[in-house]
Structure 1
């Protein structure tokens, strides 16, 4: 007897940032994401954003110590400062125009200008103001 198959889809991606205001400027004003929700708890904030083309997928910006012990928050903050947290990947219809906008964003660091990769993707890479790597590929 087989069980009915269920559909699984991506719902939320968490991105650790040290300065929520700078992160919102980058993800909202530079990449064009929409702020859907903002929740404050004490000294910390969680900010939920999404893209117009995939509003069901949430990107949640949070700080290293939000909802964590001091020790765990310190460890995550250290990894963030070294740029060792996971990469966030985006897709765009116009890589050159998006890259120009991102490269000029406050706090962004260009890691790789647009280039065709051997595996068939044309992409670019930057660090957001918190140091997270963000790769953007041509759709």
Structure 2
């Protein structure tokens, strides 16, 4: 089995798509008015409108803009440089400026327009780099 993707459910796909394009520097492919994907070499971040919930059993199976348990994480080459490039764009959405974590990653956390927590990280210790490369 391979982990493939995480899907964010949103009430405003047209707000999230450009946000994720800006922070990632990558294109988000919008397949329909209700579904888009940001594909990386390892996994995909899917973005679906609340209208897609009907396909998964109804609008009660998920709730837009209510995530308080998952963190969407992206490995970046240099979290400090990335922060400098995005600081003005992110503004008050920054939760934690670049900080070195006990497990060896340097991390920047912020919220997307729906309030989902996003973490950009760079492994900086040899142990963290080995973990991340495997």
Establish whether TM, by shorter chain, passes 0.5.
yes
Q: Using structure 1 for the length normalisation, give the TM-score.
A: 0.72
Partner of 1:135: 119
Q: Does 1:66 align with 2:55?
A: no
Cα RMSD for the two superposed structures = 2.4
Query: How far is the alpha carbon of 1:120 from its aligned partner?
Result: 1.5
Query: How far is the alpha carbon of 1:65 from its aligned partner?
Result: 4.1
Q: Using structure 2 for the length normalisation, give the TM-score.
A: 0.74
Query: How far is the alpha carbon of 1:88 from its aligned partner?
Result: 0.4
Structure 1 gaps of 5+ residues are 1-7
Partner of 2:81: 97
| Distance in 2 between residues matched to 1:108 and 1:25, nearest whole Å | 18
| Count of matched residue positions in the alignment of Structure 1 and Structure 2 | 120
Query: How far is the alpha carbon of 1:127 from its aligned partner?
Result: 0.3
| Distance in 2 between residues matched to 1:22 and 1:108, nearest whole Å | 17
Q: Which structure has greater helix proportion?
A: 2
CA contact (8 A) 2:73 2:118 kept: yes
Query: How far is the alpha carbon of 1:106 from its aligned partner?
Result: 5.8
C-alpha distance after superposition, 1:42-92 (max 9, x if no partner): xxx1111113xx1x622110123423324x16x613xx24x4252101100
Q: Does 1:50 align with 2:39?
A: yes
